[in-house]
Amino acid sequence: MATKKTNTFSSKPKSSGGLFGIWLGLSVIVILLDQISKITIERSFQFAELYPVTSFFNLTLAYNKGAAFSFLATEGGWQRYMFTAIGVVASLVITYLLKKHAAQKLFCWALALIMGGAIGNVIDRVMYGHVIDFLDFHYKDIYHFAAFNLADSAICLGAALFILDELRRVKK
């Protein structure tokens, strides 16, 4: 009597629980890279110091008390708590969505990147009262895009992947 041979090297995990761990791991990697880069810049630069890397890109040390593009940065301090709360709530919702939809790869890549970036910036707000930014893109000295960090980059990449996933889903 022949027995059916199973492939022990299957590329698909047996449960979405294993995938959930992968998505959380991706978020942790984003958080670690973000925090290591911020610590390195904080220790290497004085506030507002510029280090030209290319004709259109500098490294710098900037502090952002607001949200993206320094939105609400000049307010009295309440924004720190509001943006921290938004980041925490978003991370809780994303954790739920990652667990529920762990098998949807592109969707979960997007959410894991967004969550890692959000938590990276929440850590800054809690520890320092502001977010550390250091990536400075510019056009000559005429226009400087708002400085940002790896957490912001992960959030933007995650948002782009989320849109791509939704567009692919609509086409089906």
Residue 172: the pLDDT is 74
- Between CA 149 and CA 53 the distance in angstroms is 16
Phi/psi at 102 (5° precision) = -55, -25
**For position 141, what pLDDT does the model report?**
78
Q: What is the per-residue pLDDT for 79?
A: 81
Q: Is the pLDDT of residue 115 over 90?
A: yes
133 catalytically annotated: yes
The active-site residue out of 34, 136, 152, 165 is 152
Which one from 133, 136, 141, 165 is the annotated catalytic residue?
133
The yes-or-no answer on residue 136 being catalytic is no
Q: Identify the pLDDT of residue 4.
A: 54
| Residue 171: band (very low, low, confident or very high) from pLDDT cuts 50, 70, 90 | confident
